[in-house]
Amino acid sequence: MRREPQIERKRQLKELIEQHKLEEPIFYSEHHEGDGRALFAAANKLNYEGIVSKRVDAPYRSERVEAWRKIKVVRKGKFPVVGFVKDPSGVAALYLGKKEGKDLLYMGKVGTGWNRTTSAQIRKALDTVVSPKQKLTKTIRKPKATWVEPKFYADIEYRDITSEGLLRASSFKGLSRGTRRS
């Protein structure tokens, strides 16, 4: 089967699933041809993680190849920085919040997306707004946190928001001072 084109392997898989009346957790993913950009836009609108594209005439390969692509949806937002974890010359992580009405909710942390120079610049900015206690509406326990007034906003790219309301696969893209809401 490995040498067969992807479309033929898929046809046989569907036949086996139907023949054996397989149900959850086995699901057959229908084949769609056409405008990949439109399909990606629809996936984004439905809050899917992304789409997978495969060449229908390609044989099976166990490694990543050009015939197989995973295109992930990337979401972006501005989140108030509510705290940080120190490292010797900057920050190791930022704690993020989200304004909902008068509430400031915890959205998780980000610990990637900067270099040493940027880390030091973030630390210098946040050191100007250090607070003796956290400003979140519902207190969270983070022993290594240095809490700050939520005066700075982090531009964040992330994949999704978990069922617990936390950012998933977040990456820092920039820091700004202001009163914008996430």
Q: In Å, how far from its chain's centre is CA 128?
A: 29
The reported pLDDT for the residue numbered 78 is 96
Tell me the β-bridge partners of 106.
Answer: 97
For residue 104, the cross-strand partners are 99
pLDDT at 49: 83
Q: One-letter amino acid identity for 145?
A: A
Which parts of the chain sit beneath pLDDT 50? Answer: 180-182
Alpha-carbon span 30 to 109, nearest angstrom: 37
Predicted local distance difference test score (pLDDT) of residue 172? 98
3-class SS of residue 43: helix
Q: pLDDT tens digits for 150-163? A: 999 999 999 889 99
Give the pair of three-digit tokens for residue 159. 């994949």
Which of 170, 179, 181, 174 lies closest to 125, judged by CA?
174
Check residue 49 and report its DSSP letter. Answer: S
pLDDT score of 70: 87
Given this model, what pLDDT does residue 179 score?
57
Q: 90 vs 85, 95, 127, CA distance in Å?
A: 9, 14, 10
pLDDT at site 182: 45
Query: Per DSSP, what are the bridge partners of residue 109?
Result: 95
Task: Sort 162 into a burial class: Cβ within 10 Å, 0-12 / 13-18 / 19+.
Answer: exposed
